[in-house]
């Protein structure tokens, strides 16, 4: 357990329709000083009921956007540090030990780190990814609550604004990502509609050339620059699919 001088750690899981994941992820967080689950009111399954069996606190809150929900969780946490873990992620004993170690080491540090990036290893269609942006896939998840806030102007792929320096851990989170093609398509369609509006708001209406240019750059970035080729047919498919959704993002932004 982390010494009280660090202010403690709240391990926080945000859940919507996650009753099948919660019994697996929450026991991996029992080392934390507090385990908090924030359940979306749009949940249609027994997520809140299941969470109460494992968590110290379960809060049910309405959803407006991902960053607003993350900020709500920061406000609800009781400890000085918040460790965000998604329901489909798993925290190993080695990662828990590294979190405890780095926070304990910084208790008396003058220029204390405000947040820590954690590498994430994605498992997609049963394949453990080696490249294409899905490994190491760093996520800013361990945050000093009083010096971190999510940018609420970004509806997806939340961006954390830190008041202080950040560091990097070495032990990865395990992410049990897309398990089926249908799950992948459903989530990408949802993301694409958000991202199209964000693109339009930030850059204005994309040019006609962007319909070809952005997908081509996305494929090159993932397959070549980020070594998606290392993942065989899974990598090739995912890189091509992400290029297609880059096209869709531009197409939808042009139509808005």
Q: Into how many domains does the chain fold? A: 2
Q: How high is the pLDDT of residue 7? A: 80
Tell me how far apart the alpha carbons of residues 220 and 90 are, in angstroms, rounded to a whole number.
30
Q: Are residues 218 and 118 in the same domain?
A: no
What the block records as the tokens of 237 is 């498919």
Q: How high is the pLDDT of residue 3? A: 41
Start-to-end C-alpha separation, the chain: 51
Q: Are residues 172 and 187 in the same domain?
A: no
| 3-class secondary-structure state, position 149 | strand
Angle between helices 232-255 and 210-220 (to 10 degrees): 150
Q: How far from 254 is each of 155, 193, 204, 239, CA to CA, in Å?
A: 19, 12, 9, 23
Q: Are residues 144 and 121 in the same domain?
A: yes
Which helix (H) or strand (E) covers residue 144, if one does? strand 139-144
Tell me how far apart the alpha carbons of residues 181 and 187 are, in angstroms, rounded to a whole number.
10
Question: Which neighbouring-strand residues pair with 58?
Answer: 37
What the block records as the tokens of 227 is 């070594």
- Averages of pLDDT over runs of 10 residues in the chain (256 residues) are 63 95 96 96 94 96 90 95 97 97 81 93 96 95 96 79 95 95 91 88 89 96 97 97 95 92
Q: Which domain holds residue 169?
A: 4-176
Backbone torsion region of residue 52, taken as left when φ is above 0, otherwise alpha when ψ lies between -120 and 50, otherwise beta? alpha
Q: Name the domain boundary from 176, 193, 227.
A: 176
Q: How high is the pLDDT of residue 109? A: 66
Q: Are residues 93 and 210 in the same domain?
A: no
38 close to 11: Cβ distance less than 8 angstroms: no
Q: Are residues 155 and 191 in the same domain?
A: no
CA atoms within 13 A on the CB side of 80: 13
Q: Are residues 172 and 185 in the same domain?
A: no
Q: Are residues 20 and 42 in the same domain?
A: yes
Q: How high is the pLDDT of residue 155? A: 66
């Amino acid at each position: 357990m982390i010494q009280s001088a660090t202010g403690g750690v709240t391990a926080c899981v945000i859940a919507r329709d996650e009753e099948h994941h919660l019994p697996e992820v929450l026991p991996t967080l029992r080392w934390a000083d507090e385990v908090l689950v924030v359940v979306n009111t749009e949940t249609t399954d027994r997520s809140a009921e299941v969470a109460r069996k494992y968590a110290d606190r379960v809060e049910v809150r309405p959803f407006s956007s991902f960053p607003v929900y993350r900020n709500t969780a920061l406000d609800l946490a009781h400890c000085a540090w918040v460790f965000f873990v998604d329901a489909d992620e798993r925290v190993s004993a080695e990662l828990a030990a590294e979190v405890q170690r780095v926070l304990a080491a910084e208790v008396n540090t003058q220029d204390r780190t405000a947040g820590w990036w954690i590498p994430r290893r994605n498992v997609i269609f049963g394949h453990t990814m080696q490249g294409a942006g899905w490994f190491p896939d760093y996520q800013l998840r361990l945050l000093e609550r009083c010096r971190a806030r999510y940018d609420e102007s970004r509806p997806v792929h939340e961006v954390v604004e830190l008041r202080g320096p950040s560091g990097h851990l070495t032990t990865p989170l395990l992410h049990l990502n897309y398990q089926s093609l249908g799950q992948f398509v459903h989530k990408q369609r949802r993301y694409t509609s958000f991202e199209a509006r964000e693109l339009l708001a930030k850059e204005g209406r994309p040019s006609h050339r962007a319909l070809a240019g952005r997908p081509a750059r996305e494929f090159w970035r993932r397959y070549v620059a980020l070594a998606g080729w290392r993942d065989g047919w899974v990598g090739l498919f995912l890189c091509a699919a992400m290029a297609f959704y880059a096209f869709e993002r531009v197409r939808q932004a042009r139509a808005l």
